[in-house]
Structure formats: structure tokens, C-alpha cells
Structure 1
């Protein structure tokens, strides 16, 4: 089990109402004030679960910048600054770099460079292995560079096609002890055949993006079937309202960097 001691989050900006969305999870526009309250509660739960959380100030010029997981991938050993192909998001990597330098030596910070592209939402860590989703945001070259970096620290990686939605972790999440939540489409992937898989029903698809933190699972509010399944595995749970972030394709994992 990966133990987390640090977290980095960024307050949502007022411009979050202009965030990118596929409309897959909601057709409504987010409400900034409600999003700010939900974000504050999210931080409190991370702290309750043992993380020392650094809260960064909002960036109005980047509507999606509260999703700090996308511009970087971090472990307790290294950080990889990604390279979004979306112009409205690519500048976030510049903003996160100084913060990461407070935690990591320069020799342990790496950069995905063009023609490689990557967003952290496509990177799923299972112990010492990373599954990298190939999507509209992450390409083969980005995955290749990523593998070169992580292999220096004894990690391995492999790629998985993302055939639905935005990011890999919207459709498959690892908890711990071989337990995994995934969509019916991802359940067909041979890469995941050896896990204890729970196929989340279509009406609760958003609940796949639950977040395992130091023995407890954070679960988005409003998905009783998935919640009850997670409880049946014996996990303590924390139910979190992320409705405003759902409206711009955001969820529990993408709101923080954890290491």
C-alpha cells in the first residue's frame, strides 16, 4: 500500500465556470461559490486522513487549474511535469513547477517534451507499476518518455487505450489489495484481467473515480451502489460532494497531487 504524507491542491478560480467539459457527466454549468465550499471540504478530509496539504492560490487565467493532478505526476521519489496538448491547460505546468521544486531536487524532476503529450489523469499507479492511458491528451511519445523516467527508479509502465471519455482514471481506479473499480468497457481490457474487478453500473459511472488514501476510500456523493460495494470490502469511507467539479469533468483524484 502506498502511504501518502503530502498533498498539493489549488483553489478553484472564478473562471472555473469556463472549464473544459465533454458533457459526459453533466450538462450544467458549475457554480463557483459552491465549488469553493466543496473544495474546502475536500482539503479537510485529506488532512483528516493524514496529509499535510499545501493549498495554492487560484489562477484565473487557467479555468481548469484546480485539477492539479493533470500538469504533474508525483511519487515520494520523483516528479514528472506533463505536457498538455490543450492550449488552455498547457501553461499550468509552468505554474506548478516552482511548487514541486520545494519538494524535489532538480535531478528528480522530469519533463514530458513535445512531440510527447500527457496529462496526469491518464496515469494510474498500481504499486510499482503505472498504467498510462493513450487518449486525446496523452500520446505514445509521452508514454515512452514517461517510461524512461520512471524506470530509473525501479518502476515499470505499460499503455492502455482510452476508448471512452477524457482520461483513463475516469474509467478505471485502483484501490488497494488487488481491488479495482472500472467501467464495462475497461473491464474488457486484458491488462486488468488479474484484478478483483467491480464493474460500476452506467448510472454510477462517475463513482469510478474514488480515491484511496491511507486505508480509507473517498467516494463521490450520490452513488449508493458503488459506495455499498466499497464498504463491503471492509474499507472505511469518506463521502465527498464534488458535484460542481463533475460539471467540468473533474473528480476526486484530479483535485490533488498526493505523495
Structure 2
């Protein structure tokens, strides 16, 4: 059950942020409308939303998930793998200190993005990606295991972040796409399989009584509904252009 969420408004510099996509330049005005709808969805899900002001210095800072890993008892401040994003953690540290007394830190040369961390109950899966290196992953694994959690390091082959292709909905059920459909680390879970043409929809988020999904992916929506989950659809076009998904836009705890 999530009580709190933290989001950050996209700044004027957002349109110049990092991306590997070829979907065109985002339209800021449209992104702001979509972001407001995201906030309203989090409120509908029953969370108290902390909305941070935009920061033109960090174009990608609306993707707050990458700055931290949060558990019920402690927080871990990450060390983002993109140098241009590293300073985002300092502003987020102040926010997190208002909620947590126990805080750990990923230290250089280790790098870690929160988008590479998937929690399934007491088990954390840590993706090795272009943004999270083995040093950072091993640091987080040690921290988690010292606190009684399990940690598994997963080497990614194609996806940008681990949570680009997999989501945990609760009840031992995962939404999976691409390389994770038959991945041995996830074979013990019930799977909702995303078809290849809808892979973007694998990044959805369960927030209390709802699963928030990107709009425009009817097969995935139907499969999630048929599994017994109520969905909220949100337009995500302007965040998809910058490699962003639904999970990227908030910290949930």
C-alpha cells in the first residue's frame, strides 16, 4: 500500500533531455498536460502527492524514479549513470530526508538508476544496463541483504532499464515483454504477456487499487483487466519520446 508519491514538473529544458528514441522532439505544453493527468491519477489511487518544482538545470529530472530506491524502512540514494543527471540526487536527498531517517548511498565508481530496480515483495531484482553498472548493482545488493531483503542481479540484453520490460502487479503476477517473457529469473511468477507491438505498455505501475497503464495498448489493457485489475489509462507520448515510462515519473512509498 503506497501512501506517498513524489513527482517533479518538467522544466523548459525537458525537450533537450537525453533520449535514444527516434520519435521526435517532445512538445513541452503537451508534456505538462500529461504530467498533470499523471498527478491526478496518483491522487485517485489514494496517495499524497508531493509535487516538486521544475529545475531547468536538469532536463531529465522529471524522471524522479532514477534518483532513489525506497523501502518501508530505509532509502538508498542512487548515483545515476548519465553524468548530466548526477546532480539530481542532491535536491531529492533533501526531500527523502523528510521521510526517512535511515539513508544509504551508492558510491562512485558505482552507478545506479532507480529504473533498473524491480521489487517483488522482499526480493529486489537489479538490472545491469547502460546506466547501472556491476559495482553499483553489487553495492545495492549488499545494502538490501544487510537489511534482510534478497537481491538478484539481472544482465539486460535489449531494454533500456529493467522496468522498461517488466512490472510487478502484486499477487505474484508480473507484466512482461521481450527478453523477460522466458527469462529464467522470472519463471516462478504468473505472467501477463505483452505482445511485441505493445512492448511500451510493459512499463505500467500498480498503485494501490489501480494499475496505471499507457494509453493506446488495447491487448495489454484487456489482459490486465482479465487478470482482475482495474486500470487507469494515461497519454504518455511526450515522455515516451525521452525514453520515459509511467514508473519513471514518480517515487512511490
Give the TM bin, normalised by the shorter chain.
over 0.9
Contact 1:82 1:119 (8 Å CA) reproduced: yes
Cα distance in 2 for residues equivalent to 1:77 and 1:9: 21
Cα distance in 1 for residues equivalent to 2:90 and 2:61: 11
1:118 matched to which residue of 2? 112
Cα distance in 2 for residues equivalent to 1:246 and 1:30: 9
Residues 1:75 and 2:71 aligned together: yes
Superposed, which structure 2 residues align to 1:94-243 within 5 Å?
94-105=90-101, 108-243=102-237
SS at 2:181 equivalent: helix
Contact 1:19 1:64 (8 Å CA) reproduced: yes
Cα distance in 2 for residues equivalent to 1:150 and 1:59: 31
Match of 1:14 among 7, 12, 23: 12
1:85 matched to which residue of 2? 81
Cα distance in 2 for residues equivalent to 1:239 and 1:201: 18
Cα distance in 1 for residues equivalent to 2:192 and 2:230: 17
1:49 matched to which residue of 2? 45
TM-score (norm 2): 0.97
Q: State the 4+ residue runs in structure 1 displaced beyond 3 angstroms.
A: none
**Count of matched residue pairs:** 253
SS at 2:42 equivalent: helix
Cα distance in 2 for residues equivalent to 1:166 and 1:184: 12
2:24 matched to which residue of 1? 28
Contact 1:75 1:258 (8 Å CA) reproduced: no
Contact 1:14 1:60 (8 Å CA) reproduced: yes
Contact 1:22 1:165 (8 Å CA) reproduced: no
RMSD across aligned positions (CA): 1.0
Contact 2:6 2:250 (8 Å CA) reproduced: yes
Q: CA deviation at 1:156?
A: 1.1
SS at 1:70 equivalent: helix
Q: CA deviation at 1:150?
A: 1.6
Gap runs ≥5 in structure 2: none
Contact 1:209 1:253 (8 Å CA) reproduced: yes
TM-score (norm 1): 0.95
Deviations 1:211-237 (A, max 9, x none): 101131001000000000000011111
Deviations 1:47-70 (A, max 9, x none): 111100100000101111000000
Gap runs ≥5 in structure 1: none
Q: CA deviation at 1:183?
A: 1.6
Deviations 1:85-143 (A, max 9, x none): 211111111121111111111xx111000121100000000001100001111111111
SS at 1:58 equivalent: coil
